[in-house]
């Protein structure tokens, strides 16, 4: 089982690093997003009196984590189509190991890319001392596992990458939007405000705000954010293991 | 290589196996036995159920009805024990084209929980067996179809299997690459090779053969025996009006002629003796006359009354069609 998990995890990393355009896109997209939004809204938008560049820095970390996990779990669909997955399914590997290997692979990429962006903090004027960096990395690790588990579970039950993109726009993008990553939603319409509470991303973003900014106005307390993120990670991870263990005629292509 | 307990017993035993995709029955009442060692072919036209049977045997789809025992393990209950001892080559390549030959084999070994020296040794053995040692660092996606198939074979040899399952493995391969593939497989001592095919010439080389049609077994035995069973020779006559000729042959010559599509067929011990008579009487109406020993096509026709028509599988079309079936 360990060998299998390691193999699947390692393969995710190798494939990512070997795919130049994917690598470049994944590294540049968040930087460009960050520069565009924080530059454009710099003068006009100061949530909780904070510079938008500081506010959006934390949001970008959440965005990287989510986007990377989504795009890397799409490979589940590709693996299924290309036949690679079929080969794994008939190997003696326990199915839970497939969920574990793939999810950890995606989570590692999410975490790695977010950590690289975090290293750019000094250039944005955010004071990141080690006592903030380490807890931030801890939260990023949890959040990476959570979104990778979610992405894996969705990708496992989808038949096409186009369908997955549909789900992404319908479900995952709003999750990110309604988490407070881009703008505060504390005083939003009651409906949005309600969505905020049930949206697990809210807690991930909140936890990151606590660790990166030292204070998180408009977010639940650090303890609640941590707990919410932990529950999110455990739940999606369990979901991934559940979907993968159901055998069906669909496993054959 | 093979386990002493299984070398004498049969490699696969299937009893009354049935499988349905929703309403559509793909297999029903399929029973057969595969002896250890040698090759065993499933031959059938499209939709005959051979691919479904393959999916069951490769443990990729769950059993529905009946029982299958592979290498002494019950398929429904002990799939993971079976997976440890079989190698599978699917119609659609299971190798990762973005990785090198070596990496593909390495990951395959790791999925088998191999590591360290054992893993390295197994990779070397598999590459050698499949004549791939000089292709170690090549990206799998850049290899020719024949070489890629050899990587698949090498990958399935990583498990040191007692039984190898091949699904239309020679589809898309030129004759030389196909020979190559079989050579690699036959060189593995004690290995039982179970394969599906729609190619008559490939099927004819199997040690034993099972013919499938519409989800049922129509014939089972050594290819030579099956062909002999049709008996003597087969005379096929192409004529503009097959129905009329069948009737006339039956009344004038008292032979058991049958119409199949636009041709008239006569099977029997001394069919060749009929040729002069047929030519004298009906020569003006005959477009073509063909006398031959029975082929596997004739065996199929003899058993089912239908021609063996195959449209070669097109992977993309097939995927689209199969995708929506759920058990």
Question: What is the DSSP secondary-structure string of B10-54?
Answer: EEEEEEEEEEEETTEEEEEEEEEEEESSEEEEEE--TTSSHHHHH
- Cα of B242 to nearest chain A Cα, Å: 42
CB B287 within 8 A of CB B240: yes
CB A34 within 8 A of CB A56: yes
CB B56 within 8 A of CB B30: no
- Cα of B102 to nearest chain A Cα, Å: 13
* A174's tokens: 């709003």
Query: pLDDT for A87-109, tens place per residue?
Result: 899 888 888 999 999 999 999 99
Is the pLDDT assigned to residue B101 strictly greater than 90? yes
DSSP 8-state class, residue A170: I
* B103 at interface of A, judged by CB pairs closer than 8 A: yes
Residue of A nearest to B85 (CA): A92
The interface residues of chain B toward chain A in range 137-166, judged by CB-CB distance below 8 A, are 155, 159
Rounded mean pLDDT, B283-299: 87
Nearest Cβ partner for B21 among A4, A10, A249:
A249
Query: pLDDT for B36-80, tens place per residue?
Result: 999 999 999 888 999 899 999 999 899 999 999 999 999 999 998
Smallest CA-to-CA distance from A26 within A112, A142, A101 is with: A112
* A83 at interface of B, judged by CB pairs closer than 8 A: yes
Rounded mean pLDDT, A43-55: 89
Q: What are phi and psi of A236, to 5 degrees?
A: -70, -35
Q: pLDDT grade, residue B3 (50/70/90)?
A: very low
Structural element, H or E, at residue A33: helix A20-40
Residue B113 to residue A247, Cβ atoms within 8 A: no
Query: pLDDT for B199-243, tens place per residue?
Result: 888 899 999 999 999 999 999 999 989 888 887 888 999 998 889
Q: Tell me what pLDDT residue B262 has.
A: 82
Q: Tell me what pLDDT residue A3 has.
A: 87
Q: How far is CA A22 from the centre of its chain?
A: 16
Q: pLDDT grade, residue B308 (50/70/90)?
A: confident
Which range is most confident: B98-102, B281-285, B299-303, B305-309? B98-102
Query: pLDDT for B175-208, tens place per residue?
Result: 888 888 899 999 998 999 999 998 888 899 999 9
* B94 at interface of A, judged by CB pairs closer than 8 A: yes
- Cα of A6 to nearest chain B Cα, Å: 8
Residue B99 to residue A90, Cβ atoms within 8 A: no
* A5 at interface of B, judged by CB pairs closer than 8 A: no
**Residues across chain B:** 327
From chain A, the residues in CB contact with B162 under 8 A are none
The interface residues of chain B toward chain A in range 27-46, judged by CB-CB distance below 8 A, are none
Among B111, B149, B324, the strongest candidate for a mutation testing the A interface, having the largest count of A CBs within 10 A, is: B111
More confident of the two residues B306 and B157 = B157
Rounded mean pLDDT, A5-10: 95
Least confident of A144-148, B93-97, B158-162: B93-97
Nearest Cβ partner for B111 among A83, A91, A159:
A91
Is the pLDDT assigned to residue B268 strictly greater than 50? yes
Query: pLDDT for A189-236, tens place per residue?
Result: 888 888 889 999 999 999 999 999 988 888 899 999 999 999 999 999
**For chain B, percent of residues with pLDDT exceeding 70:** 92
Residue B111 to residue A7, Cβ atoms within 8 A: yes
**Residues across chain A:** 253
**For chain A, percent of residues with pLDDT exceeding 70:** 97
Query: pLDDT for A127-186, tens place per residue?
Result: 888 899 999 999 999 999 999 999 999 999 998 999 999 998 999 999 999 999 999 988
Q: pLDDT grade, residue B312 (50/70/90)?
A: low
CA distance A203 to A197: 9
Q: pLDDT grade, residue B6 (50/70/90)?
A: very low
- Cα of A160 to nearest chain B Cα, Å: 10
* B122 at interface of A, judged by CB pairs closer than 8 A: no
Q: pLDDT grade, residue B321 (50/70/90)?
A: very low
Residue of B nearest to A15 (CA): B98
Nearest Cβ partner for A247 among B62, B83, B84:
B62
From chain A, the residues in CB contact with B159 under 8 A are 91
* B107 at interface of A, judged by CB pairs closer than 8 A: yes
Q: Tell me what pLDDT residue A207 has.
A: 96
Mapped onto helix, strand or coil, the DSSP state of residue B70 is: strand
Residue B93 to residue A82, Cβ atoms within 8 A: yes
* A78 at interface of B, judged by CB pairs closer than 8 A: no
Dihedral through CA B183, CA B189, CA B192, CA B193, nearest 10?
-10
CA distance A108 to A12: 9
* C-alpha distances in Å from residue A144, one per residue of A138, A155, A247, B201: 10, 16, 27, 54
- Cα of A83 to nearest chain B Cα, Å: 5
Q: What are phi and psi of A45, to 5 degrees?
A: -130, 110
Share the mean pLDDT of chain A.
92
Smallest CA-to-CA distance from A3 within B112, B234, B93, B275 is with: B112
CB B212 within 8 A of CB B181: no
* B108 at interface of A, judged by CB pairs closer than 8 A: yes
Q: Tell me what pLDDT residue B186 has.
A: 92
* A18 at interface of B, judged by CB pairs closer than 8 A: yes
* A246's tokens: 């159901």
Question: CB within 8 A of A192, min separation 6: which ones?
Answer: A178, A185
Count CB-CB contacts under 10 A for residue A30. Answer: 22
- Cα of B141 to nearest chain A Cα, Å: 12
Structural element, H or E, at residue B82: helix B79-83
One DSSP character per residue, B215-247 reads TEEEEEE-HHHHHHHH-BEEEEEE-S-HHHHHH
Rounded mean pLDDT, B96-116: 93
Is the pLDDT assigned to residue B161 strictly greater than 60? yes
Is the pLDDT assigned to residue B258 strictly greater than 80? yes
What is the Cβ-side half-sphere exposure of residue A116, based on CA atoms within 13 angstroms?
Answer: 15
Mapped onto helix, strand or coil, the DSSP state of residue A177 is: helix
* B20 at interface of A, judged by CB pairs closer than 8 A: no
Dihedral through CA B74, CA B75, CA B81, CA B84, nearest 10?
140
Q: pLDDT grade, residue B317 (50/70/90)?
A: very low
Nearest Cβ partner for A92 among B62, B83, B98:
B83
Q: pLDDT grade, residue A250 (50/70/90)?
A: low
Dihedral through CA B22, CA B25, CA B27, CA B30, nearest 10?
120
* A2 at interface of B, judged by CB pairs closer than 8 A: yes
- Read off the pTM: 0.83
Least confident of A6-10, B106-110, B216-220, B269-273: B269-273
Q: pLDDT grade, residue B9 (50/70/90)?
A: confident
Count CB-CB contacts under 10 A for residue B121. Answer: 12
Is the pLDDT assigned to residue B4 strictly greater than 70? no
Is the pLDDT assigned to residue B298 strictly greater than 80? yes
Is the pLDDT assigned to residue A12 strictly greater than 90? yes
């Amino acid at each position: 089982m360990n060998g299998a998990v390691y193999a699947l995890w390692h393969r995710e990393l190798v494939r990512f690093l070997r795919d130049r355009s994917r690598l470049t896109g994944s590294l540049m997209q968040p930087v460009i997003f960050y520069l565009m939004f924080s530059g454009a809204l710099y003068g006009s938008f100061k949530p909780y009196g904070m510079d938008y560049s500081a506010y959006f820095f934390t949001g970008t970390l959440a965005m990287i984590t989510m986007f990377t996990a989504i795009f890397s779990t799409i490979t589940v669909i590709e693996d299924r189509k290309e036949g690679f997955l079929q080969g794994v399914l008939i190997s003696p590997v326990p199915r839970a190991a497939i969920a574990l290997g793939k999810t950890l692979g995606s989570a590692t990429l999410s975490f790695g890319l977010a950590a690289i962006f975090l290293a750019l903090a000094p250039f944005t004027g955010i004071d990141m001392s080690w006592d903030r960096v380490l807890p931030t990395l801890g939260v990023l690790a949890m959040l990476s596992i959570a979104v990778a588990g979610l992405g894996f579970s969705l990708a496992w039950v989808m038949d096409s990458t186009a369908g997955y993109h549909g789900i992404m726009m319908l479900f995952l993008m709003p999750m990110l939007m309604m988490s407070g990553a881009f703008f505060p939603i504390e005083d939003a319409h009651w409906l949005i405000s309600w969505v905020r509470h049930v949206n697990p991303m809210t807690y991930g973003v909140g936890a990151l705000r606590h660790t990166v900014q030292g204070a998180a106005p408009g977010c639940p307390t650090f303890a609640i954010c941590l707990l919410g993120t932990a529950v999110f990670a455990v739940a999606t991870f369990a979901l991934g293991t559940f979907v993968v263990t159901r055998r069906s005629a669909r496993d054959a292509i | 290589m093979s386990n002493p307990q299984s070398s004498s017993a049969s490699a696969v035993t299937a009893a009354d196996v049935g499988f349905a995709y929703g309403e559509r029955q793909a297999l029903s009442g399929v029973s057969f036995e595969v002896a250890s060692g040698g090759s065993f072919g499933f031959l059938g036209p499209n939709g005959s159920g051979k691919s479904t049977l393959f999916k069951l045997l490769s443990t990729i789809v769950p059993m529905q009805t009946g029982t299958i025992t592979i290498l002494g393990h019950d398929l429904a209950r002990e799939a993971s024990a079976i997976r440890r001892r079989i190698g599978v080559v699917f119609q659609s390549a299971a190798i990762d084209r973005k990785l090198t030959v070596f990496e593909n084999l390495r990951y395959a070994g790791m999925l088998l929980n191999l590591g360290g020296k054992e893993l390295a040794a197994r990779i070397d053995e598999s590459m050698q067996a499949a004549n791939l040692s000089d292709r170690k660092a090549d990206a799998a996606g850049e290899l020719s179809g024949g070489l890629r198939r050899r990587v698949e074979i090498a990958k399935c040899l990583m498990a040191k299997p007692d039984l190898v399952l091949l699904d239309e493995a020679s589809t898309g391969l030129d004759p030389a690459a196909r020979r190559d593939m079989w050579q690699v497989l036959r060189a593995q001592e004690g290995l039982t090779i179970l394969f599906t095919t729609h190619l008559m010439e490939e099927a004819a080389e199997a040690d034993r053969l099972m013919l499938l049609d519409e989800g049922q077994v129509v014939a089972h035995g050594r290819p030579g025996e099956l062909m002999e069973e049709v008996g003597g020779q087969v005379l096929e006559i192409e004529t503009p009006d097959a129905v009329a000729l069948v009737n006339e042959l039956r009344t004038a010559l008292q032979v058991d002629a049958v119409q199949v599509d636009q041709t008239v067929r006569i099977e029997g011990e001394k069919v060749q003796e009929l040729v002069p008579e047929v030519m004298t009487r009906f020569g003006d109406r005959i477009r073509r006359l063909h006398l031959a020993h029975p082929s596997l096509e004739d065996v199929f026709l003899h058993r089912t009354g239908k021609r063996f028509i195959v449209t070669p599988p097109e992977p993309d079309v097939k995927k689209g069609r199969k995708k929506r079936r759920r058990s």
